[in-house]
Structure 1
């Protein structure tokens, strides 16, 4: 896994996102494919529903949208 560069910013990627772009934005930040982040989110929702759901909603509210 590649560590993010210090000048990278995390954002919601609405163009490549399925629901609100959180997973796509996180995937871009960590330079991985979005399918892996989405899989981890689904896995987390199954086993740790409340914390993962709260974190996702917080990310939707707090993360800025990607501006091209």
Structure 2
């Protein structure tokens, strides 16, 4: 039995990067536009929390395409 959904891997794209490609990779994985994910990340930086640390960890763990 095959699944109707294609599983997308969590990778950093080579062509849609601004800083490290983390937001673009998350956008591809979730099916959102990369601009939307970047805006959500910037808005989340207004709230207290470890957003920058999470970004750095994802940058280190997410492989390139």
TM-score range, shorter chain: 0.7 to 0.9
For 1:38 and 1:17, the matched residues in 2 are separated by 11
Could you list the runs of 5+ residues in structure 2 that have no partner in the other structure?
Answer: none
Alignment of 1:6-17 (within 5 A): 7-17=7-17
Q: Which residue number in structure 2 is paired with residue 63 of structure 1?
A: 62
Aligned residue pairs: how many? 61
Report the Cα offset of residue 31 of structure 1: 0.9
Instruction: Give the ranges of 4+ consecutive aligned residues of structure 1 lying more than 6 Å apart after TM superposition.
Output: none
SS of alignment partner, residue 26 of structure 1? helix
Q: CA RMSD in A?
A: 1.4
CA contact (8 A) 1:14 1:20 kept: no
Structure with larger RCO (C-alpha < 8 A, sep 6+): 2
Q: Which structure features the higher share of helix residues?
A: 1
> Considering only CA atoms, is the larger Rg found in Structure 1 or Structure 2?
2
TM-score, normalising length: structure 1: 0.80
SS of alignment partner, residue 18 of structure 1? coil
TM-score, normalising length: structure 2: 0.83
